[in-house]
Amino acid sequence: MGKTGGFEEFDRRENICIPPEERIKNFDEFHLPLPVETRRQQAARCMECGVPFCQAGVMISGMMSGCPLHNLVPETNELVYRGNYEQAYLRLSKTHSFPEFTARVCPALCEAACTCGHIKESVTTKDNERDIVEFAFSHGLVDNSEPKVRSGKTVAVIGSGPSGLACAQLLNMRGHKVTVYERFDRPGGLLRYGIPNMKLDKRIVDRRIEVMKESGITFVCNANVGDNIPAEELCEKYDRVVLCCGASRPRDIASPGRDGSGIMFAVEFLREVSKRIMDNDYDYETVIAANDFSFGSLAGKNVIVIGGGDTGNDCVGTSIRLRAASVTQLEMMPPAPEERAASNPWPEWPKVLKTDYGQEEAIALFGKDPRIYSTTVSEFIRDDDGNLTGVRTVRLTKKTDENGRVSFEPIEGSEKIIPADLVLIAAGFLGSEEYVTDAFKVDVTTRGNVATTVDSFMTDTAGYETSREKVFTAGDMHIGQSLVVRAIAEGRAAAAAVDESLMGYTNLRN
C-alpha cells in the first residue's frame, strides 16, 4: 500500500495547528488541513507492512491496540495517495459511521499501533481520514436517503451519544424504524455536551444529525427516559429498546468542605459552556464576556481542576478561554515516563507522558505546566460566609501490599494551600445512572455497567442483550467510560445483535 519507500522519502506532517496564543481567543477548532498534494504524500508513507496492526482493534495487556472499528486503514491510505477520495470514502464508510467525529477527538489508536511508527514516525491516518470525510461532505457523497424497504419493526434508542447514533444509523439502514430519545435539548450526547467546541465544533454534529433525520431517523429531545418518559411505555411501544445512556455518573471527592458553592462536576461545567456557545449562535465575545454562568464569570478567577484525563484537560482549555487568572490541574497519579518502558512494547498503547492542547495553552499563557502530580485534595477551604477560597492539597505516595494491591497514601507534612474560586471535579465516572437502570429493571455489574448475556447466536457480538428480554445496551453504559471510537464500535455491534434478534439473521457485521 502507498508508495514504495514513501515512509523513507516523506517525513510525518500533521495538520496545521494554530499557536496557543491565538487559538485561546475563541472556541473555534484550531487544526487546519494541509494542501492536497501534501496530504497525498502523507498517505504515501503507508508501508505495505505484513500485518496491519493499525486495524486490528484487539486488547493487549488490558489496552486497545489498533482501531476497534477495524477500519481498512492501508486501503484508505492507498486510495488517498492515488487521489481517489471518493473510493477512499466508500471504503472508510464500510466500517465507520462517523469519521468526522473521531478525526477530531480520537487519540488515534491506529497510529499508536502503526508499524511505521515502530520504525520511525507513524502514518497520519487520523488526519487522512478527516480529509476523506470532509471531501465526502463537500462533494455530496454522504448518503442521506431513506431505506427503500422497511421491515415493519420499530426500535427505540435511548441516548444520542456516539454509541446511540451509530446503533440508530445501522438499524435504520437495515430498514427498521428508529426513534432516538435524548434527555437534553439537542441530540449528540457526549459529542455535543461533553467535548468542547474547539475540539469538535457543534455544527459538525448538527451536520450529521441532519443527514440522519433526512434518512428517516426520528429524534425526540428533552425526553429523560426513566423520569418524564416511563420506561415501561417504551418497552410496550417498540419491538426492541437499546440503552445507550453512557457512564454519566461522576465520581465525587468526599473531602471536608465539599458542600456549598464553587465546586462543580466537570461534565456540568463543559455542558453549560457548550450550551451557551450554541444559544448565542457561536458569538464567542458574548460568551466570554458573560457573567451570568451558574459559576459566575471566570475573568480574574483561580480555577482548580481535579483529574488528569481528557475531561480535565478540556476544563483547562475552556477555563483559559473564559479568561481565568490561573488554572491548576491536580493528578493523583505520578507522571508517565517520557519514553516507552520495556514492559510497554509496541504495538501496545504507549503509556507515555502526553501534553495535550489545554496544558500547552496553560504553558504558553502562564509559563508553566498546570499539572501537579501525585496530589489530591484533603479539604475545600471556605471563608466565614461559606465561599470557597482555596483547597488544601496533600502529596501521595504509591504503595503495594503483599498481594500486589496498589494504594496511594498521603505523605505527612506535605500539605499545601492553593487559592481557588472554582473547583472542577474531573475524576472519572462510576457507571450508568441508577434511575435509568432501575426504570428498565436491568441487572448491573459491580462497576455500575449494564450487565449483558451472551447467546449462542450472538457470540461474535460479545452479547448486547440485557437481563431483560428485548432490551439491549451499548457504549459506555455497557463497557464503562471509554473512547468515542469504542462507543461507535459498540453501537454498530449492538445494532447487529438487535437486527439478528428481530430478523433471525443479520448482514450488519463488518
End-to-end CA, the chain: 21
**pLDDT at residue number 47:** 87
**pLDDT at residue number 456:** 38
The DSSP H or E segment spanning 359 is: helix 357-366
**pLDDT at residue number 453:** 83
CA distance 250 to 425: 8
pLDDT digits (tens, 9 = 90+) for 420-436: 999 999 999 999 999 99
CA distance 494 to 307: 31
CA distance 135 to 100: 11
**pTM: predicted TM-score of the whole model, two decimal places:** 0.96
Give 199's contacts (C-beta < 8 A, 6+ positions apart).
29, 104, 105, 314, 357
Q: Is the pLDDT of residue 458 over 60?
A: no
The mean-pLDDT minimum among 16-30, 143-157, 285-299 falls in 285-299
CA distance 362 to 178: 44
**pLDDT at residue number 155:** 98
Which class is 6-138 in CATH? mainly alpha
b/e 415-424 (16+ beta carbons within 10 angstroms → b): eeebebbbbb
Q: State the average pLDDT for the chain.
A: 95
pLDDT digits (tens, 9 = 90+) for 142-181: 999 999 999 999 999 999 999 999 999 999 999 999 999 9
Mean pLDDT on 380-401: 95
Mean pLDDT on 118-137: 96
In terms of Cα–Cα distance, which of 125, 133, 234 is closest to 179? 234
Domain boundaries, the chain: 6-138, 154-248+430-503, 263-425
Q: Is the pLDDT of residue 63 over 90?
A: yes
What is the dihedral sign for C-alpha 366, 371, 375, 378? positive
Q: What is the third-level CATH fold of 263-425? A: FAD/NAD(P)-binding domain (3.50.50)
**pLDDT at residue number 206:** 98
In terms of Cα–Cα distance, which of 248, 283, 228 is closest to 439? 228
Q: Assess whether the previous peptide bond of 347 is cis (omega < 30° from 0).
A: yes
Q: What letter represents residue 430's amino acid?
A: L
CA distance 44 to 92: 17
Q: Is the pLDDT of residue 1 over 80?
A: no
Domains 154-248+430-503 and 263-425 share a fold: yes
Confidence of residue 454 (pLDDT cuts 50, 70, 90): low
Confidence of residue 397 (pLDDT cuts 50, 70, 90): very high
Selected from 3.40.720.10, 3.30.300.20, 3.40.50.11810, 3.50.50.60, the CATH number assigned to the domain covering 154-248+430-503 reads 3.50.50.60
In terms of Cα–Cα distance, which of 108, 121, 114 is closest to 48? 114
Q: Which residue has the cell 485534595?
A: 377
**pLDDT at residue number 443:** 96
DSSP of 118-158: HHSS---HHHHHHHHHHHHHHTT-S--PPPSS--S-EEEEE
Percent of the chain with pLDDT strictly greater than 70:
98
**Apex 69 CA angle, 67 and 74, nearest 5:** 60
CA distance 167 to 179: 11
pLDDT digits (tens, 9 = 90+) for 233-278: 999 999 999 999 999 899 999 999 999 899 999 999 999 999 999 9
The mean-pLDDT minimum among 58-72, 289-303, 436-450 falls in 289-303
295 DSSP assignment? T
What is the dihedral sign for C-alpha 356, 362, 368, 374? negative
Mean pLDDT on 319-334: 97
pLDDT digits (tens, 9 = 90+) for 460-499: 445 899 999 999 999 999 999 999 999 999 999 999 999 9
